């Protein structure tokens, strides 16, 4: 009898997350049993109206906040009860973050910005430079390696930020409106390269977005609804959230 091929382990598992905020005597249940799993190589959209809890969910998934209850598993490890130092080690080793605004260091070139997180991890200059150049070239920036952020377009800056987030080969990528500050044409171009890089590297990505056109192009769509995560078919996602 042949053994069945083993199923890959989820990179991220969110299990029955609950988070309540209080405004005076009013309790706001931002997360109320939210659960999901992300597999390697998947780009997963996180959609929902402003105030639905997308940022809170990303912060908890990224071990930047703790839930009131529930579990966050990274590569099968329960991170929910870790102390701050252990959570920081997991973030550095396993995660990359991309924000709406690139947050590049202005005094360093594109390639240097992507080298910095690698140097912090102890990689040699030559190794870090080769990795940075490879990532930037894969995002169409081979001719812009030595340019500083002020010399790059908005799309080029954000692509550099994406490369930086992937510099240490994280298993999980968390992105909060990564193309929200770009014009539609540039956003479309950057996003296409972003998803291509996710598929090539096998990283699992959770991407919060209000752009329903982009959400439909991802592998899966999760909608925040009443503090829970509801899976939608990408083709069924309507315009405007």
The structural domains of the chain, with segments of one domain joined by +, span: 12-235
DSSP 13: E
* More confidently predicted of 177 and 220: 220
Burial of 140 (0-12, 13-18, 19+ CB in 10 A): middle
Query: Residues 100, 178: contact at Cβ < 8 Å?
Result: yes
User: Residue 67 in contact with residue 60, Cβ under 8 Å?
Assistant: yes
CA–CA gap between residue 189 and residue 170 (Å, rounded): 23
pLDDT band at 234 (very low <50, low <70, confident <90, very high): low
Q: Which residue has the tokens 């992937």?
A: 166
Mean pLDDT in the chain? 86
More confident site: 8 or 109: 109
Q: How high is the pLDDT of residue 233?
A: 75
74-123 pLDDT tens trace: 998 999 888 999 998 888 888 988 887 778 999 999 999 999 999 988 99
What is the band of 241 on the pLDDT scale with cuts at 50, 70, 90? very low
* DSSP code per residue over 17-80: EEEEEEETTEEEEEEEEEEEEE-TT-EEEEE--TTSSHHHHHHHHTTSS--SEEEEEETTEE-T
Fold observed for domain 12-235: Rossmann fold (3.40.50)
Q: Is the pLDDT reported for residue 3 higher than 90?
A: no
Q: Which helix H or strand E contains 215, and what residues bound it?
A: helix 212-215
Range of lowest pLDDT (21-30, 131-140, 141-150): 21-30
CA distance 201 to 188: 20
Integer Cα distance of 199 and 210 in angstroms? 22
- pLDDT reading at 5 higher than 60: no
177-219 residue pLDDT tens:
877 777 777 777 778 877 887 888 888 999 998 888 888 888 8
- Percent of the chain whose pLDDT exceeds 70: 93
Say whether pLDDT at 238 is over 70.
no
Structure confidence at residue 214 (pLDDT): 83
What pTM does this model have? 0.85
């Amino acid at each position: 009898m042949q053994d069945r091929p083993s199923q890959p382990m989820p990179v991220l598992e969110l299990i029955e997350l609950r988070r309540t905020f209080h405004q005076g005597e009013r309790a706001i249940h931002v997360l109320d049993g939210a659960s999901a799993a992300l597999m390697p190589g998947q780009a997963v959209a996180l959609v929902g109206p402003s105030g639905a809890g997308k940022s809170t969910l990303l912060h908890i998934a990224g071990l930047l906040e703790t839930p009131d209850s529930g579990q966050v598993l990274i590569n099968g490890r329960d991170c929910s009860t870790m102390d701050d130092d252990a959570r920081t080690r997991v973030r550095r080793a396993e995660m990359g973050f991309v924000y709406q605004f690139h947050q590049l260091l202005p005094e360093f070139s594109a390639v240097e910005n992507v080298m910095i997180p690698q140097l912090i991890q102890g990689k040699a200059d030559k190794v870090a430079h080769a990795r940075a150049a490879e990532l930037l070239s894969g995002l169409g920036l081979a001719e812009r390696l030595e340019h500083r952020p002020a010399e790059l377009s908005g799309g080029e800056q954000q692509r550099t930020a994406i490369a930086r987030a992937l510099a240490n080969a994280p298993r999980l990528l968390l992105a909060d409106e990564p193309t929200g500050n770009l014009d539609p044409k540039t956003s479309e171009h950057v996003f296409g390269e972003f998803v291509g890089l996710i598929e090539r590297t096998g990283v699992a990505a959770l991407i919060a977005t209000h752009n329903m056109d982009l959400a439909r192009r991802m592998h899966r769509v999760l909608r925040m609804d009443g503090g829970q995560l509801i899976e939608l078919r990408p083709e069924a996602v309507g315009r405007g959230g």
